[in-house]
Chain A
C-alpha cells in the first residue's frame, strides 16, 4: 500500500467550535489539544482522505477573502503540526 498526499483527520480527535473565531482540536487518547481559528477549522473539515492538500488549499482560497500568497505554505505547516501530534494521517491506497 502507498501513502497518498491526501490527509485524513484522525476520527478520534474532537473538534470543538467554542466561539465564532475559536475552536479546539482535542485528542482524548493523549489529552493533546490545540486551538485553531476558522481557517484551521475549514481545513480540518476537508481532511477526509479524498482531497489532496492542493484541493484543500484551492477550496480555502475560494471560501475566504484576502487569502495571502503564502496560504499553501501556511496550511501545509498547519497540517504538518497536526500530523506531528497524531491528529492527522495520510490516506493509503492499495496497489
Chain B
C-alpha cells in the first residue's frame, strides 16, 4: 500500500480521466448584443436554438452523477435566460461550482444577490473593450459600455469575483493604456485578461475591419508588454498579443542561443482542453470545444456523456494531436522555430485552414516576421 494517501492534484499520467472535470456550456443562443467580432454567431454549422429548462436540468443531473466539478455558462448571453436562477440551482444541487461569461448589461441586483447566496460562483467574466463608451461601443453597440460597467459595479457590490476580458481589435489598440488605468485603478479590479479578435464566427465577416494588421499587432504587443511590467501580475493572456509577445520573446531567445527544444515544442501540443473538459452547444450538441463547434459528438440526454468522453473517436483524435510533429507540415518547412512552437489553437487552425490537425497560421511567428512584424 502506498504510504501517502493524499497528494497535490496533479496527475502526471496522460491517461484519459473517467469523466470530464469541467464543461463549457453555451446555455443560450440568444444575446442582447451583436458584437462585430463575436466568435459565437454566424457559424454556418451551428443550429441557434435554446433548450428548455427541464432539458438542461436533466443534463445537470447527469453531470452531478459523473462528479463534474465546474461548469462555465456562456452563450449568447447567459443572463438573458429568464430561468437562469433555476438552472443555477440545478448546478448547485448537483454539487458543482460555476462561472458565467457575460457582457454585463443584464446583471442587476437581484441576480447578483442570488449568485452571491449560492456560494458556488467562481467568477463572472465581463467583456470590457474600452476605457469609455466611444471605444467600447465601436464594436459592441451603443449603450453596451454603460451596461458592462453597471454590471461590474453590481457584481462588486455583492462581492462576486469579476474577471474582465479585453478583446483587442483595430478600434481599441490606441486605448490600451487608458483601459488598464480604468480597470485597475478606477474600477479597482485585481487584474484583467486580454485576447484579440479571432477569425471565428461573425469576426470572419468583419475580419478586414476589426482584426489587427501585423503593424497593429506589433503595437498592441509592445503596449501590453509595457503595461504588464507597469502592473505586475495583473494583466494576463492565454492568447492574443500579450501571450504572443511573451511566447515569441522566449522562442526567439531560444532559437538565437541554440537552446534545446521546449518540452512541448515541435508538435501540435497547444491545446490541453480535451484532457479535462468538453463543451455543449446551446442546441444540446456535445462538441469538442466552442471553437470547434462543428464537430458534434452526440446530444445531451440522448447520448451518454461518459461514453462520449471515453470513446469518441473525434475526441481521442484531438487528444492525440500532441503526437503530430510540425516537421510533417509543408506550412512549417524550413522553419527554425519548430523546436519551440506548439502549433497553437486547433480552433483557429480549422477556421483558417479547414484542418484541425494543422498548425494555426494565425499565431505563426515566422509568418508574422515575414509579414514585416518584429518582436518588441
**In the bound complex, do residue A29 and residue B120 qualify as a contact, i.e. CB atoms below 8 Å apart?**
yes
**In the bound complex, do residue B97 and residue A37 qualify as a contact, i.e. CB atoms below 8 Å apart?**
no
Pick the residue among A14, A16, A36, A64 that contacts B1 (CB under 8 A): A64
Q: Does B95 contact A (CB under 8 A)?
A: yes
Pick the residue among B3, B21, B67 that contacts A68 (CB under 8 A): B3
Closest chain A residue to B91, Cβ basis: A28
Q: Does B119 contact A (CB under 8 A)?
A: yes
Q: Does B96 contact A (CB under 8 A)?
A: yes
Pick the residue among B7, B13, B120 that contacts A28 (CB under 8 A): B120
- CB under 8 Å from chain A, chain B span 66-97: 67, 69, 92, 95-97
Closest chain B residue to A12, Cβ basis: B95
A89–B1 alpha-carbon span in the complex (Å): 25
Interface size class of B (residues with CB under 8 A): 20 to 34
Q: Mark A38-68, 1 if CB is under 8 A from B, else 0.
A: 0110010000000000000000000011111
Pick the residue among B6, B10, B120, B122 that contacts A78 (CB under 8 A): B6
With a CB–CB cut-off of 8 A, which chain B residues contact A28? Answer: 69, 92, 95-97, 120
How many A-B residue pairs have C-beta atoms within 8 angstroms? Tell me: 76
Closest chain A residue to B2, Cβ basis: A37
With a CB–CB cut-off of 8 A, which chain A residues contact B7? Answer: 35-37
Q: Does B18 contact A (CB under 8 A)?
A: yes
With a CB–CB cut-off of 8 A, which chain B residues contact A66? Answer: 1
Q: Does A34 contact B (CB under 8 A)?
A: yes
**In the bound complex, do residue B69 and residue A16 qualify as a contact, i.e. CB atoms below 8 Å apart?**
yes
Closest chain B residue to A13, Cβ basis: B95
Closest chain A residue to B4, Cβ basis: A37
A66–B96 alpha-carbon span in the complex (Å): 37
Closest chain A residue to B9, Cβ basis: A35
Q: Does B260 contact A (CB under 8 A)?
A: no
Q: Does B19 contact A (CB under 8 A)?
A: yes
Give B contacts to A, CB under 8 Å.
Answer: 1-11, 13, 15, 17-19, 21, 67, 69, 92, 95-97, 119-120, 122
